[in-house]
Amino acid sequence: MAFYDGIVLWCVHTILTLKTLLFTWLFRTWKPVETQYRKVAYSRCCNDSKLLQKIPIHLGLVIAENQISYVDIANLVVWCMAVGISYISVYDTRGILKKSHSSLSSEIEKKRDDVLGHEKEKFTYQLHHTLTTSKTDQITESKKKSHILLLSAQDGRPDIVQAAKGYCQQVYEQLTKSNAVDVGLIDSLLQATSGFPDPDLLIRFGTTSSLLGYLPWQIRLTEILSIPTHWSIDYKSFMNVLHNYAGTQQRFGK
C-alpha cells in the first residue's frame, strides 16, 4: 500500500512541476514583443505616481526564479526611481546579482537614458553589494537619490545569527544587560541592511510560495505581493502592484 501511495505522490509532484514550467514558459513566450521593448517616459511615471495614495519608501524584489534577466531588473529599478521610491533591495538566494553587480549597473545606466531622458541628471543612485557599502549616505536636496541593495541568502538568517553573537558578546563584556533586548537593539546589530528602513512592500517573482530566506527579521510588517515572473515585466504590471499596495490598510496587529 505504501508503494502505491508513493507512486501517487510522485505523479502529483511531477504534474505540478510540469504545470509550473509550462505556465512560466507561456507567460514569457506569449507576452507581446512590443510591450517588452516599449519605452516608458518619465512624465508618465511622474503622473502615475501622483495617483497613488501612498508610495513605499523601501521596495523589495525577490527573484525566485532560476534564470535572471538583468534588463528586466534594471527596468524595475529605474521605474522605482522614476515614481519616487528611495530604497530598493533585490534578492536572489545564490548571490548572482552581487557577483555580477557591474553588469546590472551597466543595464541600469542604459535604462536611465531610456526612461528618464533629459531628466536623468536630477536622479542619482548608489548600488550596495557588500557589507562595506551597505551604509547609505545623506540624500541631497538638489537631486533625488535612490539606494539599491543587492542581497543573497547570507544576508538573511546568517545575519541574525551574527547579530545574536554580537549581543551575547556585549552582555559578556557588560556593555549591556541580558534583559535589554528590544527591536531597536536588534536592528542596530544587523549589518546587511544597515542604513535601510524595513521594506514596506515586497514583490515576489516566481511560482514558488516561499520567500527563500529574504530578510526574515525586517519583513514583520511588510506587504507581500506576487507576480509569476520578472521576465518581460511591463510597466503596467509594475504599476498594478503599486496600486494594490496603495489601496491596502495596514493595521499593525490592531
% of the chain with per-residue pLDDT over 70: 79
Q: Give backbone dihedrals phi and psi of 194, rounded to 5 degrees, phi first.
A: -60, 125
Q: What is the DSSP letter of 65?
A: S
Who has greater pLDDT, 231 or 21? 231
The pLDDT of residue 131: 62
pLDDT at 187 over 70: yes
What is the per-residue pLDDT across 204-218, written as a single tens digit (0 to 9) for each?
A: 999 988 999 999 999
pLDDT at 189 over 80: yes
The strand pairing partners of 125, in sequence order, are 146
What is the per-residue pLDDT across 143-179, written as a single tens digit (0 to 9) for each?
A: 689 999 999 999 999 998 988 898 899 888 988 888 8
What distances in angstroms separate CA 6 from CA 2, 3, 17, 164, one per listed residue? 6, 5, 16, 41
Q: What beta strand segments (E) does 25-151 contain?
A: 58-63, 87-91, 123-128, 144-151
Who has greater pLDDT, 50 or 13? 50
